[in-house]
Amino acid sequence: MRIALFATCIVDAMYPETAKSTVKILERLGHEVVFPKAQACCGQMHINSGYMPEALPVVENHINAFDTDDYDVAVAPSGSCVASVKHQHPILAERLGKPELKERAIAVGKRTYELSQLLVDVLGITNAAEQLGSYFPDTITYHPSCHGMRSLKLGDRQLDLLKTVGGITVEELPEADQCCGFGGTFSIKNADVSSAMLEDKMKNICSTGASACAGGDASCLMHIGGGLSRTGAKPKTLHLADILASTMEETVTL
């Protein structure tokens, strides 16, 4: 398959390794990865902050970049960006009175997958060690980000993939389904509540004794990781893609 990578702005700029990991995994499976260079961002930050007219150029740019015949499916290593593409883009187009854009948004959304969705539902991956050669000899816990869990209904796809990585130990995270408190600009507009939510998330992560908390959204991980770093706690954060890309020969270190 020809798979278009939607890196997402935060991964592109801040966590390029995660995008490289995504490419590695897909190439390992024999697929061709393309990177539509016109892409920038899904516009979720603007939409969720209420800046709809300002979101429009960002959303239009995304749709223009991905509304092509140059690929079979698109994938992003982020549940919330994919949820934005699938659900928010059509609504924004409707709100701003752009029916044609709405149709195109729906079409792009249909072809866009979150990484674990693509791996499990489309590419039939059930065992990361066997099918992807994934190997990560350490103890992790896992935070399911809200948009993946609730908007995309990912269920246990990410966790199941992690559990089948070679050498890994996965400790269950207490109150895993609770939001980490990121919420985009919520984290600065309502910084106190956001921090209170983060505090509980960190407490739960630390209680597992894991070396790292894994997840499928770089933004939530930046939030959790930023808090852990500030408090001097031991656990690090690591993206699902980076763990799946890690192999016996080239093992990712924390």
Of residues 98 through 157, those in contact with other proteins by CB under 8 A are 146-147, 150-151
* Strands 73-76, 112-114: pairing kind: parallel
Segment near other proteins (CB under 8 A); pick from 134-142, 166-174, 226-234, 243-251:
226-234
| Binding of residue 78 to other proteins (CB under 8 A) | no
Q: Which of 1, 29, 31, 48 binds other proteins (CB under 8 A)?
A: 48
Applying the rule CB under 8 A, the residues between 193 and 222 that interact with other proteins are 193-199, 222
Applying the rule CB under 8 A, the residues between 227 and 246 that interact with other proteins are 227, 229-230
In whole angstroms, the minimum distance from the beta carbon of 126 to other proteins comes to 26
In whole angstroms, the minimum distance from the beta carbon of 113 to other proteins comes to 19
In whole angstroms, the minimum distance from the beta carbon of 75 to other proteins comes to 14
Contacts of 252 (CB under 8 A, 6+ apart): 136, 238, 242, 243, 245, 246
Reduced to 3 states (helix: H, G, I; strand: E, B; else coil), residue 254 is coil
- b/e 82-114 (16+ beta carbons within 10 angstroms → b): bbbbbebbbebbeeeebeebbebbeebbeebbb
In whole angstroms, the minimum distance from the beta carbon of 250 to other proteins comes to 16
In whole angstroms, the minimum distance from the beta carbon of 179 to other proteins comes to 4
Query: Measured between alpha carbons, how far is 135 from 123 in angstroms, rounded to an integer?
Result: 19
Q: Which of 3, 4, 19, 244 binds other proteins (CB under 8 A)?
A: 19
Contacts of 189 (CB under 8 A, 6+ apart): none
| Binding of residue 51 to other proteins (CB under 8 A) | yes
| Binding of residue 47 to other proteins (CB under 8 A) | yes
Reduced to 3 states (helix: H, G, I; strand: E, B; else coil), residue 5 is strand
Backbone angles phi, psi at 73, to 5 degrees: -135, 155
Q: Which H helix or E strand runs over 3?
A: strand 2-5
Segment near other proteins (CB under 8 A); pick from 13-21, 106-114, 161-169, 239-247:
13-21
| Binding of residue 248 to other proteins (CB under 8 A) | no
Query: Measured between alpha carbons, how far is 152 from 27 in angstroms, rounded to an integer?
Result: 25
Residue 238 DSSP label:
E
Binding residues for other proteins, total number by CB under 8 A: 71
In whole angstroms, the minimum distance from the beta carbon of 32 to other proteins comes to 11
